[in-house]
Amino acid sequence: MGGQAVKVEESSWDVEVMKALGLVMVDFWAVWCGPCQMVAPIVEELATEYAGKLRVMKLNTDENPEIAGRYQVMSIPTILFFKNGQVVEKLVGARPKRQFKEVIDSLLTQPSPTA
């Protein structure tokens, strides 16, 4: 599995994100959000480029408000990076692809936090 962003929802959250090994990037978005639509192709490109190194997930905040609330997602797009079920980085708002790559490359070189 790899090469594309995978939809995640409350029912699959624990398995797909909290118990996942390695780095997981979650794009919190909504259909009506213009900046989210701008970021969407970048998220897909990153999923392809980092296939095998990074799991890329997309969470629709309108369909999963509990999870968005749990992580204090107040504005979208918000991109959260998880390692071993812990948030290790947060990006809010539309960003250029270069900024995403800098964060991902940095996180991939860091040792994983211990739970």
The catalytic residue positions are 33, 36
Order across the sheet with 86-92: list the strands: 6-7, 54-60, 23-29, 78-83, 86-92
CA distance 106 to 47: 16
DSSP state of 16: I
